[in-house]
Chains A and B, each alone.
Chain A
Amino acid sequence: MQISKSFRRLIFLELSIPLALLTLGIYHGLLQTIYRAGVLQQPAFAKLDYYQGLTLHGVINAIVLTTFFAVAFGHATMAFYFKKEPNKKVAWFSFALMTIGTVMAAWAMLAGKASVLYTFYPPLKGHPLFYLGTALLIVGSWIPLFNWASMYVKWKRENKTTKTPLAVLGTLINFIIWFVCTLAVAYEVLVLLLPWAMGWTSTVNVTLARTLFWFFGHALVYFWLLPAYIMFYTMLPKLAGGKLYSDLAGRIALFLFLLFSIPVGVHHQYSDPSITQGVKFFQGMLTFGVAIPSFLTAFTLAASLEYAGRRRGSKGLFGWMAKLPYFDSKNYLFSYFICGLILFIFGGLTGIVNSSYQLNSVVHNTAWLPGHFHMTVAGPVFLAIIGMSTYLYSTMSGKRIFLPGINVIIPYLWMVGVLIFSTGLMWGGLLGEPRRTNLGITYLNSASEHFRPDWVPTTLLALCGGIIMFVAGMLFLVVFFGTMFRKKTSSSILELPVSEAYHDEKRIPLFDKFKPWLVVMGIVLIIAYTPAFVNVKKNAGPGAPAFEPSNPVPIENVSRK
């Protein structure tokens, strides 16, 4: 498909701005492993302090990069399938809001005024621009959904009996989930936190803020994951040389995500006060519900890859695994996808452990948690983002890939790095190693009374894995920005791989419309979350004053002197 200069420029900016920021995000990822192994035994290095860097790492990698990419990939998907570009003004306005918001938040973090981590739990307080910037980034990302929805409605009117393309369905479902869940965090940020951060209100209900955050926080990970799932369902089978085993399975999975992504947030609050065990248990059960579409996806993708392998002549029960195009530099997207999927096996299974009620007590807030989520968000999500960014940039600019041989190796290097890194973290976590902690100063400092020798091998493993990941990440940035500096050698097109379905089941209206699912989604949300908010209102006591990370004395007391 031919695309306009304006659209091309928009997508390029939405892909490359976060990738440029990723330089800092990945740098501080490495630094964290260095501090935690006790190689650095100090609060700061090169003008960035540990917790400031940790905030930058989380916000850049897990909020900025993922949100910008989802929007850009959404624009590309909708344009490609409907052969029509999204509304120019709307798309640029959304980009402007997102970018201005990012700049505000980045300034606050770099100035050291928002070392509150990407979860920004009160009553730890950051600079008001941090909260405002984050809100703008999120609100800006809402806007494309409304344009895409109207594109879809128009298309549906002219194609009443045609199945909605799976990629389109996935994009719309993903952004509906996003819009609904971010309403809670937007409320938390704009109504609870921003006035309090500006000093207009004196206290904040901490548990209410946390509950609103986690209403958003679990669905957030599906917002990250679903673009990768869209790629796995609609592109991977073709890239492997086969077909998507069942198109209907993909639709069922997407609608199950719509129902169960949000009403499960309390499983991040199993160890919180003021929410009853009953509510925690109920949302834990719903979380098992959201595991179902991922199991379905694992099988459907395996079947699709097996079909591809057998087409290439494989024999036996597992022979198909060997007959896939792992190292074809002209088919590098396959490599990025398959490495992500291998990591996701472990990421997904450890996620089930985390959500399993009492089992959470073994792992919550230990190093096990980042061990788990680097095999999910830093696994299939990250690899899909960087692989697809390179692909979209290269095809839309008409430029050949810089260092194609390196490009195809990067996902394997990254995957090995993450496996080593996460093994170190999970082992350490089971030994009680905390997350979000600058271990080098105390726990990994042999001169400290806190010294824990049993965390030496675990943090060393994480350091080794972190170094490998850093190298892979830097190589990727070289490939991506190197491609940017090449000369254009072919025409600029928007072209996405599209897989045929092996079982291209007849259109089933129920799995091709939104209303009944949205109604059920709303009902489940009300049933799951009303008791949680009632609990919080009833059991929580006084609200909390604001605290700076460096000072145990609350801010209002200081100013009264």
Chain B
Amino acid sequence: MIDKAEKRVLVITGCLLSLFVFSILYAKEKYQSDVPECLPYDKAYAEPKVVKLDDETYQVFAVAQMWSFEPSEIYIPVGSEVDFFVSSKDVVHGFNIAEKNVNMMAVYGNINKTTVKFDKPGVYDIVCHEYCGTGHQNMKAQVIVNYPNRK
């Protein structure tokens, strides 16, 4: 029916794509590497605040609006695990911490969630990467990861 070489190509392609699927699942299982988590809407999550659960666990409730993030400066001790809960007060915004695979859309009436461990100290930019109006290019916040007791 179909040519022998074409058949071989289909098999090679199948193997290639299976390798990718396996790698995706492996990263998911071994490193909990995943896309943002789905949460049903609750307006309690849409109030900006930073909550310390213990010395190494934090929750950041970030609200994006035209054209800033609240809170805009977030202090986290190095070695902490942070849950980011993100939503928007108005139009769709982006929430991107490039060096940590944090890449979420902030949407009105919706809550987005991801978890990050900040192993290295430094200043991490939170950049809005979805067009949100005339002030879009000004919209940036920071996560300042530092040693405990040193602000």
Contacts and interface: CB of A to CB of B under 8 A. Distances in A.
A385 to B, nearest CB: 26
A505 interface: yes
B49 interface: no
Nearest to B46: A541
Contact of B3 (A245, A365, A548): A245
B54 interface: no
B39 interface: yes
Given A358-B28, A505-B1, A280 B41 contact: no
B138 A357 contact: no
A403 to B, nearest CB: 39
B2 A51 contact: no
Nearest to B97: A432
B110 A207 contact: yes
Interface string A306-347: 000000000000000000000000000000000000000000
Interface string A256-298: 0000000000000111111111001100110010011001100
Among A121, A123, A288, A437, find the residue whose CB has the most chain B CB atoms closer than 10 A.
Answer: A437
A296 B10 contact: yes
A292 B10 contact: yes
B48 to A, nearest CB: 15
A310 to B, nearest CB: 14
Contact of B134 (A275, A299, A356, A549): A549
B53 interface: no
B34 A288 contact: no
Nearest to B66: A552
Interface in B31-45: 33-43
Interface stretch (A127-135, A152-160, A246-254, A489-497): A246-254
Contacts of B67: 552
Given A246-B3, A296-B9, A435-B129, A273 B36 contact: yes
Interface in B122-151: 125, 127-134, 136-138, 140
Contacts of B37: 277
A431 B98 contact: yes
B50 to A, nearest CB: 20
Given A123-B91, A352-B20, A434 B9 contact: no
Nearest to A544: B108
Contacts of B121: none
Tell me if B's interface is mostly helix, strand, loop or mixed: mixed
Given A206-B108, A248-B2, A365-B129, A299 B9 contact: yes
A357 B35 CA distance: 7
A547 interface: yes
B91 A296 contact: no
Interface stretch (B55-63, B72-80, B99-107): B99-107
A544 B111 contact: no
A273 B39 contact: yes
A367 B131 CA distance: 13
A51 B105 CA distance: 19
B3 to A, nearest CB: 5
Contacts of A9: none
A64 interface: no
B104 A271 contact: yes
A411 B132 CA distance: 35
A509 interface: no
B36 A547 contact: no
Contacts of A246: 2-3, 6
B71 to A, nearest CB: 18
A360 B103 contact: yes
B27 A358 contact: yes
B125 A272 contact: no
A119 B4 CA distance: 43
Nearest to A295: B13
A49 to B, nearest CB: 8
Given A296-B9, A361-B101, A361-B102, A280 B35 contact: yes
A485 B36 CA distance: 56
A280 B34 CA distance: 10
B6 A299 contact: yes
Nearest to A119: B131
Nearest to B89: A552
A295 B9 contact: yes
Given A295-B9, A364-B103, A547 B109 contact: no
A441 B138 contact: yes
Given A292-B13, A539-B110, A358 B24 contact: yes
A366 B129 contact: yes
A431 B125 CA distance: 12
B133 A547 contact: yes
Contacts of B134: 43, 49, 51, 549-550
A43 B133 CA distance: 11
Given A299-B5, A360-B103, A206 B35 contact: no
B107 to A, nearest CB: 5
B110 A206 contact: yes
B137 A437 contact: yes
A124 B92 contact: yes
B88 to A, nearest CB: 8
A46 B86 CA distance: 38
Given A364-B129, A436-B130, A538-B40, 6 more contacts: A272-B36, A273-B86, A358-B33, A360-B35, A436-B129, A552-B90
17 contacts: A206-B108, A248-B3, A273-B36, A273-B38, A288-B20, A291-B13, A296-B10, A300-B6, A365-B94, A366-B98, A432-B125, A438-B137, A441-B137, A450-B137, A539-B41, A549-B134, A550-B133
Interface of B: 1-3, 5-6, 9-10, 13-14, 16-17, 20-21, 24, 27-28, 33-43, 65-67, 86-87, 90-92, 94, 96, 98-99, 101-105, 107-112, 125, 127-134, 136-138, 140
